[in-house]
Structure formats: C-alpha cells, structure tokens
Chains A and B, each alone.
Chain A
Amino acid sequence: MPLIDSILGDFFWRALIGGLGVAIVAGPLGCFVVWRRMAYFGDTLSHSALLGVALGTLFQIQLNLSIALVCVGLALVLVMLSRNRALATDTLLGILAHSALAIGLVTLSFMPDVRVDLTGYLFGDLLAMSRADLGWIYGGAAVVLGLLVWLWRGLLMSTIHEELAKVEGLPVEWLRLTLMLMFSLVIAVAMKIVGVLLITALLIIPAATARRLASSPERMVIVAIILGMVAVSGGLSMSWYLNSPAGPSIVVSAFLLFLLVYGLVSDRRAG
C-alpha cells in the first residue's frame, strides 16, 4: 500500500490521524466529565501522568502503559480517600493533582542521564508522533469505544442518578471503576497530543460546546466528537501556517469553536 505508506511516512499526516483518533474518544468521555462534574478530577488524573512518565522511564516500562497504570492507581486512591470524607473532595483533588505533578517533576530530575522533553509532556508533542503511537491511540480508542457502546445504558443511568441505577439492578460501583479505567487510558494516549496540562481542555471544551447543539445525550456525544475533530484539524492547520505549538493551538481552536457556538446559538434551542 504505497499510498498509506506515504501518508503515514509524513509527520503532518501522522499527527492529524493521531489527533483525530484522540478526538473520537475524547468526545464521549468529555461528555461524562461535563455531566458528572469531574473536570477537576480529570485534571488530577492527567497531572499524575507525568509521574507515570517518570516511573515508566525509571523501570523501563512502555510509557503509555505506565501512565495508564499510575492514573488507575491514583483514581483508586481518590475513591478510597473520598470515602472517609476527612477533606472536601475539591481540596483532596487539589492536593493530589499538584502533588502528583510535583512528584513527577522531582522524580524526573533525579534521572540526569535521561533526557526528557518536559515541554513535550506538559504541552504535547503531536508532531513527533510515531507509528507505534498511532497504534496505541487507535488500539486504546477501540477498547474505550467498545466499552462505551457495551455499557452505555448503565453508564448514562448511573450518571443521572446513581442510587436509582442501583435500585434498578445496575452494578454502579463497577461502572464507576470502568469509567475511571477509560479515563486513564484516554489520558495516557491523549498526553502525546496536548500534554498533561491541556488534556482536560480537550475533554471538556468540545463536550461543553456540543451541549448547545444537542437535545439528547447520544447526539451530544456525536457532536462533541465532530467538534473535537474540527478543533484538531484547525489547530494543526494553525500550527502549520503560523508555526505555533500544535497542542495549545488545538485547544485554542476548540475554544474559538466554543465562543462561536455560544455566540450564535441561544440556550433556548437545546432542551
């Protein structure tokens, strides 16, 4: 397949294909972040990704895997800590988010012989995307989308009202855990695109924009995916023509879409 080969051989096309893959999973998960008011939670998980990078480098584990593992670990710690309610959840998240980031940075600094592109991890390094990265992105996206389709009714119902869902026989604890697992996976693969500091933006801005254009949860997900893809394409074009950093450019174009939609569509139209 010489055509596919020449496309994948080009860094710009690899970046675009990878970015679109991430937009596909960021759409539905971003909707859950918005619906469940988990923006701060997403921030905390993504900040811990840097710790995943540090530990992965230290123990020589594949980086995507170590990031996902650290995110899952932190998510479990959060669930346990929020049960005993010694601190308000937002305080707890604030502590863990920035501590995880700081521990990640400190750990990296202890490895002087390892050259780490810190800016790349913090703000994304889309243009350095390899074919293996693309494999991770589309593999992760397939797993996440499969889980979403399979568990959709339960996930949506437990988002609306967890106790009602439980009375109706849905395994709400298990669903919550699965959702966190999916977040961790998406953070691990999205980090390459926009970096740990901007992942939450890629999740919530398209979803929040989609809210204005949708009257059902399913439509909101689809619109969020499309908006995410437009933002990725727009951001990459911006980066190409203006020579701006790719990750932040994607977030800027997502934000411009948000402003455009909220300026043009009144909130009466959406139900």
Chain B
Amino acid sequence: MSEALVTLTDASVRFGDLVIVDAINLTVSRGDIVTVIGPNGAGKTTLIKAVLGLQPISTGTLTRAPGLRTGYVPQHIQFQPTLPLTVKRFMSLTGAAPAACREALERTSVAHLYNASIHHLSGGEMQRLLIARALVREPDLLVLDEPAQGVDVNGQAALYDLIRTLRDTLNCGVIMISHDLHLVMAATDKVLCLNQHVCCSGYPEQVSNDPAFVELFGRHVAESVAVYHHHHNHRHDLHGDVVGHHHGHGDHHHDHPSHDAKARDHHAPH
C-alpha cells in the first residue's frame, strides 16, 4: 500500500439543512489517479474543495499527510481584463525561480507562450498553463476541477495523457473531476461515482458494471463505457456529457432524454 496523501473519513458538508455531500470515505495515495464523476449538483466541486481544505467539512474527518504540498487547477479562472498579466508574471507569482517556471511550462508544452498576455490564451492553452502553475510547486497531490473543460475532444485525450505522464514523473497523487466518462474510464486508476454520497467506487471496469452506476447514468451510457475501446470518432462518444455538463456547444446529441432526467433526478440507492 503506497503512502496515503489525503483521507476523508465519513465526511459530510452541509449548508444549514442542505446536505451537499454525505458520508464520504475517500483516500488518495501517492501514484493514484482518482476521478470523481457524477451529475450536476452531485457535490463534486464541494468534495474537491473539502479535500483542498477550502471547504470546511461539517462532520467526519479530513486527514492530510504532514507537509503535504498541493497543486490546484481550479475549474475556471475569470481573469479580470483590467489586470494586465503575462504568462511569465502569472508563473512567477508562485515565488518560483524563472528557470523552474519555464521548465513547468515545457512539461505542459506551453513554453512558447512565456511572454504572451494571459488574456489571449485559448481554452486548452489556459488549462495547460494552470497545470504548469500547479506543477511549479512540485506538489505531492494534484487536484484538478474539470481539467478538460473548454478543450476539444482530441485535446482532451492529450490532456489526460499529460496528467498520467505527470503522475509518473512527479510520483504524485491525482484527484480530478471529469465529465468525459469514456476518457475517464481509459485514463483512471480509480473512479468515484458521486451523487451526494458515493454511489460506487473502484476500478473503471468494476464501476461501469455496478448497478448504481448504470442507474445513475443510464444503461446506454454504462454499456458504451463498458465496451469502451477506441471509438474516438463514434458519434456516441460525447454521450457522457449529456449527463451533466453544459459545454455550450450545440453538437451534443441529447437523443436520450430519459437518461438525462434520470441522471438529474434520481438518487441511486446506496
């Protein structure tokens, strides 16, 4: 058993009477990639923030390894256009030396943007910059909230590849939120399927056959994930997105509204 970096034990987060996440047990160890999936409003971001210590937990315990260094890639940074900022300055704000900043940018293949204004980056470049910024701190634990957001399908696969490579070279633990079920199932060690509580968790093959997973995401999605093998150009490929995420593109096929409804409304039994 490798070193546990962060552990949530029977943890829940409540706002007043509203239960956001409940009775979560979760461990991220060094070398792990844990992916949290689940419909909108399932509490994924809240869970991640609890792991980061940004969101105090109401009950249960959060244990972090002593001296744990965390790299955080937030879901979305709204850079104020009134604040002039270059990639270089944004990186140097970590307090790291310029050489280290450049090296981190090279690792995520955006070193050529070193002097670019942060306001001119594309979605994919921005994600890679944010990852580089998390890396420069040489984290033990990398926390990513929807790293593939705003990135096209091919770019998404490359991004998950990058995350795996980083896990290997840095020997860190990774916990991330994702909506891209197919890519998750291919790129992850451990999946945690969340809908306020942990519906099911385990290896991708286990999870995709779990009744709770099938119930939450619908049979079509579950089956297409279970038989996932290189259907990158298949039209159903993006189907997982229907489950919860608004990509803002018009090209997703919402041709199974019943699953949509299920995903949103159904609280799978534990």
Residues of A in contact with B (beta carbons under 8 Å apart): 34-37, 153, 156-157, 159-161, 163-164, 166-168, 208, 211, 214-217, 219-220, 270-271
Instruction: Return chain A residues, CB-CB under 8 Å to B18.
Output: none
Known: A163-B54, A164-B74, A167-B52. 15 other contacts (CB 8 A): A34-B83, A156-B93, A160-B77, A160-B80, A163-B49, A163-B72, A163-B74, A167-B53, A167-B72, A211-B84, A216-B85, A219-B84, A220-B83, A270-B84, A271-B116
B137 within 8 A of A: yes
CB distance from A36 to the nearest CB of B (A): 8
Are A157 and B84 within 8 A (Cβ)? no
Is there an interface contact between B54 and A215, defined as CB atoms closer than 8 Å? Answer: no
Q: Distance in Å from the Cβ of B147 to the closest Cβ of chain A?
A: 14
Give the contacts of B64-123 with A (CB-CB under 8 A): 70, 72, 74, 77, 79-80, 82-86, 89-90, 93-95, 116-120
Contact, CB under 8 Å: A166 / B54: yes
CB-based contact B80/A153 at 8 Å? no
B residues at A contact (CB < 8 Å):
49, 52-54, 70, 72, 74, 77, 79-80, 82-86, 89-90, 93-95, 116-120, 137, 143
Residues of chain A with a CB closer than 8 A to B77's CB: 160-161, 164
Q: Please report the C-alpha to C-alpha distance between residue A35 and residue B81 in the assembled complex, in whole angstroms.
A: 8
Q: Which residue of B lies closest to A154 (CB)?
A: B93
CB-CB under 8 A from A156, the residues of chain B are: 93
**DSSP class of B's interface residues: helix, strand, loop or mixed?**
loop
Find out whether the CB atom of A215 lies under 8 angstroms from the CB atom of B86: yes
Closest to B54 in A: A163
- Taking CB atoms, residues of chain B closer than 8 Å to A157 are 93
A213 — nearest CB in chain B belongs to which residue?
B84
Please report the C-alpha to C-alpha distance between residue A157 and residue B143 in the assembled complex, in whole angstroms.
19
Decide yes or no: A271 and B117 within 8 Å by CB, A164-B72, A164-B77 being known contacts: yes
Instruction: List 12 A-B residue pairs with CB atoms under 8 Å apart, sorted by A's residue number.
Output: A34-B83, A35-B82, A156-B93, A167-B52, A167-B70, A167-B143, A168-B137, A214-B84, A215-B84, A216-B86, A216-B89, A271-B84
**Which single member of A36, A37, A167, A220 contacts B84 (CB below 8 Å)?**
A220
Q: How many A-B residue pairs have CB under 8 A?
A: 66
User: Would you give the shortest CB distance from A57 to chain B, in whole angstroms?
Assistant: 38
CB distance B119 to A271 under 8 Å?
Answer: yes
Residues in chain A near residue B95, CB distance under 8 A: 153
Find out whether the CB atom of B86 lies under 8 angstroms from the CB atom of A168.
no
* Given the contacts A35-B80, A211-B82, A160 and B90 also touching, CB distance less than 8 Å: yes
Distance, CA A166 to CA B82, complexed state (A): 22
B77: nearest chain-A partner, CB-CB = A161
Q: Considering the complex, give the chain B residue whose CB is closest to the CB of A208.
A: B82
- A217–B82 touching, CB < 8 Å: no
Roughly how many angstroms separate A220 CA and B119 CA in the complex, as a whole number? 16
Is the pair A34, B84 in contact by a Cβ cutoff of 8 Å? no
Q: How far is the CB of A97 from chain B (nearest CB, A)?
A: 22
B residues less than 8 Å from A216 (CB atoms): 84-86, 89
Q: Does A161 contact B84, Cβ atoms closer than 8 Å? A: no
CB distance from B43 to the nearest CB of A (A): 17
Contacts of B52 in A (CB 8 A): 163, 167
Contacts A215-B84, A271-B86 hold; do A160 and B137 have CB atoms under 8 A apart? no
In the bound complex, CA of A105 to CA of B92 (Å): 48
> Measured between alpha carbons, how far is A153 from B83 in the docked complex, in Å?
14
Chain A minimum-CB-distance residue to B72: A167
Nearest Cβ on chain B to A50's Cβ, whole angstroms: 29
Q: How far is the CA of A37 from the CA of B89 in the complex (A)?
A: 21
Given the interface pairs A168-B94, A271-B119, A271-B120, the reply to whether A160 lies near B82 with Cβ below 8 Å is: no
Of the candidates B89, B119, B143, the one whose C-beta lies within 8 Å of that of A217 is B89
Residues of B within 8 A of A271 (CB): 84-86, 116-120
Interface centre among A164, A167, A168, A217 (most CB of B within 10 A): A167
* Complex Cα spacing A153 to B93, Å: 6
- In the docked arrangement, what's the CA distance between A125 and B83, Å? 33
In the assembled complex, the Cα of A19 lies from the Cα of B79 at a distance in Å of: 33
Which residues of chain A are within 8 angstroms of B49 by Cβ–Cβ distance?
163
